[in-house]
């Protein structure tokens, strides 16, 4: 059995250059998936380079693309491959109404034929590069995966699925049935590996999920990873500080040298929650557009 992969979830607006730098310095992750690059036309080379630059480091990087025009997304993938991008992901899961209203992200789940056209176009543009798909179990009903997941797997173009157990309509609400939904995802994906996503916040959560679904390829953690930045290391059985010390270490590493106050508030609330945030009162007293350093 292959060693499971543990992924930090891609988070737009959160994955700043200082955060990525701090995570690399502390060796918190083994791999990255970028937050989505929204494709409305083929970006210029300099824009692609600027988008990927913060992720430059020793860890392998998967470039996540999102759009509703297969030609533009495929051309963007080819352009990114030409400057060195090695692994790609298509986002069919973002639940933002601003995104889904145009048929992108999770909106694509309403059009399985369109998803297949997108996947096949991108794979044709980058035939020698791994292509994965990030998605949810449905638009409004998890039974929808019965239709699209086996069809996507049957294209032969997808090397891996990242499946969040909720539907798009469920956003991030608490819903039951995670294990049952993901078990069916694994069955429907056939021989295509599946990384499981959603509500994994502790090593115990991950262990229970993998014990229930031992055939999964791994676990992706987003908000859980922010609440415990050493979580992925814990899942690998590596030495780690206690969660509270880990939060403090990570926050100091990110904000060292200066970090925008508004982003510092957001990050500290992710790490501790507003009610327990030891920096909140100090941060909200500062000018919102100034820089904060926890070293001071």
Pairing of strands 131-136, 160-164: parallel
What the block records as the tokens of 212 is 């229930």
pLDDT (mean) for 40-68: 96
Q: Give kind and range of the element (H or E) at residue 61.
A: strand 61-66
Mean pLDDT, the chain, rounded, equals 96
pLDDT per residue as tens digits for the range 253-262: 999 999 999 9
pLDDT at 82: 97
pLDDT per residue as tens digits for the range 62-109: 999 999 999 999 999 999 999 999 999 999 999 999 999 999 999 999
pLDDT at 49: 97
pLDDT at 270: 96
Query: SS3 sequence, 224-246?
Result: HHHHCCCHHHHHCCCCCCCHHHH
pLDDT at 1: 57
The CA distance from 279 to 216, in Å, is 38
Pairing of strands 61-66, 32-33: parallel
Which residues contact residue 168 at a Cβ distance below 8 angstroms, ignoring those fewer than 6 apart?
A: 93, 95, 100, 106, 107, 109, 136, 138, 139, 140
Lowest-pLDDT range of 12-16, 230-234, 268-272: 12-16
Domains of the chain: 5-239 (3.20.20.70), 246-292 (no CATH)
Pairing of strands 291-292, 259-260: antiparallel
pLDDT at 294: 87
pLDDT (mean) for 249-254: 98
pLDDT (mean) for 24-35: 97
The CA distance from 289 to 226, in Å, is 23
pLDDT at 23: 97
pLDDT band at 266; cut points 50, 70, 90: very high
The CA distance from 148 to 116, in Å, is 9
pLDDT (mean) for 205-221: 96
pLDDT at 20: 97
pLDDT at 288: 86
Specify the residue for token string 């904000």.
255
């Amino acid at each position: 059995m292959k060693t499971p992969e543990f992924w930090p979830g891609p988070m737009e607006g959160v994955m700043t250059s200082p955060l990525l730098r701090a995570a690399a310095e502390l060796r918190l992750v083994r791999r990255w998936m970028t937050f989505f690059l929204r494709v409305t036309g083929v970006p210029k080379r300099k824009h692609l380079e600027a988008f990927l630059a913060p992720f430059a480091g020793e860890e392998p990087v998967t470039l996540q693309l999102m759009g509703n025009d297969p030609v533009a997304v495929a051309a963007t993938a080819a352009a990114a491959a030409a400057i060195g991008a090695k692994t790609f992901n298509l986002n069919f899961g973002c639940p933002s109404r601003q995104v889904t209203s145009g048929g992108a992200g999770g909106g694509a789940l309403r059009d399985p034929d369109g998803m297949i056209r997108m996947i096949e176009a991108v794979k044709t543009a980058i035939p020698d590069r791994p292509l994965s798909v990030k998605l949810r179990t449905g638009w409004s009903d998890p039974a929808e995966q019965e239709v699209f997941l086996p069809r996507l797997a049957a294209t032969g173009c997808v090397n891996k699925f990242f499946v969040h157990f909720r539907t798009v309509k469920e956003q991030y609400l608490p819903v039951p049935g995670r294990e049952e939904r993901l078990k069916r995802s694994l069955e429907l994906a056939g021989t295509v590996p599946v990384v499981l996503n959603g509500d994994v916040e502790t090593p115990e959560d991950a262990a229970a999920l993998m014990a229930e679904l031992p055939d999964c390829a791994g676990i992706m953690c987003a908000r859980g990873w922010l609440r415990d930045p050493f979580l992925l290391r814990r899942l690998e059985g590596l030495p780690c500080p206690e969660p509270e010390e880990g939060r403090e270490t990570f926050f100091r590493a990110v904000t060292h040298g200066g970090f925008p106050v508004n982003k510092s508030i957001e990050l500290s609330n992710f790490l501790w929650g507003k009610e327990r945030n030891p920096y909140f009162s100090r941060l909200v007293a500062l000018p919102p557009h100034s820089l904060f350093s926890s070293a001071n």
